[in-house]
Amino acid sequence: MNTSEEYNFNQFSNLPFYTDINANFLEFAEIDDLKTIVDLGCGTGGITKLLIKRFRDAKETMIFAIDHSKTALKTAANEIGETKNIIVKFCHSEVQSLTDVIKDKVDAIVYCNSIHYVPDKSDLLKKIKSKLNNKGILAFNTSFFEGSHPDDSLEFFRKWMLRSLRKVRKEYGLSAKKSDKVQSRVQLNQKQYENLLIENGFKINSISTNRIDVPIEGWHHISGFSDWIEGILPGIPLDIGREVLQKSLAEIWDELKIKSIPRIWLSVSASPKS
Ligand SMILES: C[S@@+](CC[C@H](N)C(=O)[O-])C[C@H]1O[C@@H](n2cnc3c(N)ncnc32)[C@H](O)[C@@H]1O
């Protein structure tokens, strides 16, 4: 992942529609009254802030916010500032090293829009299970699974991608490299996630998919996130990728006269099977 602060997730993460998705997700996860929570892949702290808000009246809550991006953690710490009642511990680590970072078992592990990055999900789920109390909860969501693109979003995507590739070629003389798929593009479907959880000793408490109408601001700001640019325009410098994606987006949005483009989020809550 590119570590430049300029291309991080913060602007997208602070958009009201994204905050709403995750606030609803924390409601769905039923993690109230818990004391120790891991915010896995915390990024720039969007979910950490929601957790703090949710637990503001609780006493002795401890949140471990883990991410492998130092710049994201720095932004998260700045955004969060001082907290009352709640201790937030930022941990710079790969999620795969969870068992080294978290010494004692915890009540919940919340993992928002990040599980799709991990190649060996079975190994990670085993580690997560080993760090959860018996009644602990693993709650994750993702909008990068097979099934996240509704049919009525496909024309928009096709046009947006083709226009961007053409602009990169015509205006900058560049072409996107055919590279290995970045990890966030290798997607599992809902059934595969369910099977993985069961194979690794979890029972599923609840699972749901939600269709979300993403406004233009969402697509605009995600186009400034390094992972998105690298996924769509591999090998293109980030500044050029961002400019081209944002320009093409504005043009296509205008031409198709659309108000929003839908995307599906998968939400899962699971617990260790006793
Ligand atoms: C799309 S952002 C989501 C951030 C946050 N959970 C949210 O929803 O606002 C994904 C985050 O996962 C982090 N990440 C991806 N792979 C990781 C890994 N293997 N170990 C630690 N962090 C990882 C990235 O640095 C990034 O901050």
Residue pLDDT, tens place only, 97-152 = 999 999 999 999 999 999 999 999 999 999 999 999 999 999 999 999 999 999 99
Nearest CA to ligand 1 atom 27: 43
> Mean per-residue pLDDT for 169-176?
96
pLDDT at 2: 41
CB 69 less than 6 A from any atom of ligand 1: yes
CA angle 222–258–143, rounded 5-degree value: 35
Expressed in angstroms and rounded, the spacing between residue 238 Cα and the centre of ligand 1 is 18
pTM over 0.75: yes
What pLDDT does 6 receive?
Answer: 75
Span from the CA of 72 to the centroid of ligand 1 (angstroms): 9
148 lines ligand 1 (CB under 6 A): no
Reported as a pLDDT band with limits 50, 70 and 90, residue 206 is very high
Give the mean pLDDT of the chain. 94
Percent of the chain surpassing pLDDT 70: 96
Residue 20 makes CB contacts below 8 A (sequence gap 6+) with: none
Q: Which residue has the higher pLDDT, 6 or 206?
A: 206
In this model, does residue 187 exceed pLDDT 60?
A: yes
Q: What is the mean pLDDT of residues 236-257?
A: 97
For residue 10, how far is its CA from the centre of ligand 1 (angstroms)? 11
User: Which domains, and CATH codes, for the chain?
Assistant: 1-148+187-214+263-274 (3.40.50.150), 151-185+216-258 (no CATH)
Give percent of the chain with pLDDT exceeding 90: 88
Query: Is the CB of 13 inside a 6 Å radius of any atom of ligand 1?
Result: yes
**44-91 pLDDT, tens digit each:** 999 999 999 999 888 889 999 999 999 999 999 999 999 988 999 999
